[in-house]
Amino acid sequence: MARSVKLLLWSLLLLGTLSAIQAKKSKEKITNKVYFDVEINGKEAGRIVMGLFGKTVPKTAGTFLVWEKGVGKKGKALHYKGSSFHRIIPSFMLQGGDFTDGNGMGGESIYGEKFADENFKLKHTGPGYLSMANAGEDTNGSQFFITTVTTSWLDGRHVVFGKVVTGMDVVYKIEAEGSQSGTPKSKVVIVDSGELPL
């Protein structure tokens, strides 16, 4: 009996160690850190810092680094500063990035109006994942969303390219301004954005 218990304990220890090693291996390398300073109805809500996975999805991560990319084909500056979170659904996600029209119908990437899905290697495995919003296959622009729950039904349809590093409290403040229709109860604006050192 004692031998069986010892064997069971060693097996559990080995299994736990292997699980920890696997979890460490699957952790994506952050290549860039970016931030959004957010206001809700003109009042400071805080800062969201996100890590981008540029090794796995370099093109997608690159389009999110729009702060100094000039003016797009639509004549609008290619950056998120001044744009809003136009679609917020509690227990799902918050969507932004339409800096051309501001209503979810626009946006533009550094590669032109739309670009193809890069790959679907990364999954929506929990809250805080940063993913491309689209209108179907190969229709990525500048719009993105941040998950507030696991959204595995989006795997294979939306390209995950980053994760919130700090500021999930701000994400949840924004989520509280949402509705089931997605129409925000308040104006939620990205008042500043940029890149941070790693």
Active-site annotation holder among 32, 95, 140, 143: 95
Q: Is 158 a catalytic residue?
A: yes
Q: Is 143 a catalytic residue?
A: no
Active-site annotation holder among 87, 115, 130, 140: 87
Q: Is 87 a catalytic residue?
A: yes
Active-site annotation holder among 36, 79, 86, 134: 134
Q: For 12-38, what is the HEC assignment? A: HHHHHHHHHHHHHHHCCCCCEEEEEEE
Active-site annotation holder among 52, 94, 130, 154: 154
- Residue 160 vs residues 77, 122, 146: alpha-carbon distances, Å: 24, 6, 10
Q: Is 134 a catalytic residue?
A: yes
Q: Is 115 a catalytic residue?
A: no
Active-site annotation holder among 64, 144, 145, 161: 145
Taking CA 26 as the corner, what is the angle to CA 63 and CA 122, rounded to the nearest 5 degrees?
Answer: 35
Q: Is 52 a catalytic residue?
A: no
Active-site annotation holder among 92, 99, 115, 161: 92
Q: Is 85 a catalytic residue?
A: no
HSE-up of residue 196 (Cα within 13 Å, Cβ side)? 17
List, by residue number, the catalytic residues: 87, 92, 95, 134, 145, 154, 158
